[in-house]
Amino acid sequence: NLPKIRHMQKVPTEVLTFAKTQGFDSASYVMEWEGFSVYVLEHDTDDGLYYTGYPVFALINEQNDVREATAKEMHSIMRACPDD
């Protein structure tokens, strides 16, 4: 389970653009991890469709380079998320 978002942080344009290229509608900040800001990619649920499965995380570094977390990174991020 992902934690409730504690930081209301503006999502960088680079992350939103990346989300849309991956077929998602938006992203929400999760936490800082291993030198990256971590965002979970999300679908708008107004259409009645829901995404199931593991979360898709976007990682952005200080140079504003964005990429998808690998499976190994995704599991590590999930373990690092505080329980809420």
Strands 57-60 and 66-68 come out as antiparallel
In the chain, which residues have pLDDT < 50?
1, 3-6
Per-residue model confidence (pLDDT) at position 45 = 73
